[in-house]
Homo-oligomer: A and B are copies of this chain.
């Protein structure tokens, strides 16, 4: 078991602190954590807290109710509830798509939608310019949604990531750009991986 991983019990403690904060809008005291987890001695909890601080999941000052989850800890819970979504940077060709190294930062997404499986990507190039997707725009992609004809998708073809319109044919897939200067791409089904469907777009002038 590598040092940085959490034990089952440590995860439970972290989740307890997170849930308490969510529910009551303020951090729990050590005694309150004891109660929720049925631990009789405050030291039982303090030990876990120390471990969680050492592993970079918690912060605190020696004040009352000053326990605070770090960014690292929030990432564990983010996938379920929050409004933040990872903005992926350079995607190393061919490697598994959703690896840690690619998570450059978290950016906000519409709070009334599930963010599970959603990621963001910065557009490079002009292949979708006629669909109103410009160089530098950020797109939001749902990796769990199934692509339908005409959807704008993120596809992995021969170790390259592209954003195109999706038109499935009998034995191949047509990836159509929204740019008259560029040609459609026809790829055999076994050479293309649809990474997700574009569900939103964000642009910043300035």
Task: Provide the bound-state CA to CA distance between A29 and B24, in Å.
Answer: 17
A176: Cβ under 8 A from any B Cβ? no
Closest to A65 in B: B65
Closest to A25 in B: B68
| Interface residue from B26, B27, B83, B133 paired with A132 (Cβ < 8 Å) | B133
Per assembly, the copies of the chain total 2
| Interface residue from B83, B132, B201, B204 paired with A110 (Cβ < 8 Å) | B204
A88: Cβ under 8 A from any B Cβ? no
**Known interface pairs A26-B27, A111-B108, A132-B132; A201-B200 also in contact (CB < 8 Å):** no
A167: Cβ under 8 A from any B Cβ? no
Majority SS of interface residues in chain A? loop
A residues 16-64 near B (Cβ < 8 Å) are: 24-27, 29, 63-64
Interface string of A69-102 (1 = CB under 8 A from B): 0000000000000010000000000000000000
Task: Provide the bound-state CA to CA distance between A26 and B108, in Å.
Answer: 22
A26: which B residues are within 8 A, CB to CB?
26-27, 63, 65-66, 68
**Known interface pairs A64-B29, A64-B64, A108-B110; A132-B203 also in contact (CB < 8 Å):** yes
Please, could you name 10 A-B residue pairs with CB atoms under 8 Å apart, sorted by A?
A: A26-B26, A65-B65, A108-B111, A129-B132, A132-B133, A197-B205, A199-B205, A200-B204, A201-B202, A201-B203
5 other contacts beyond A132-B133, A199-B206, A201-B202, with CB at 8 A cut-off? A24-B66, A26-B63, A108-B110, A110-B204, A201-B205
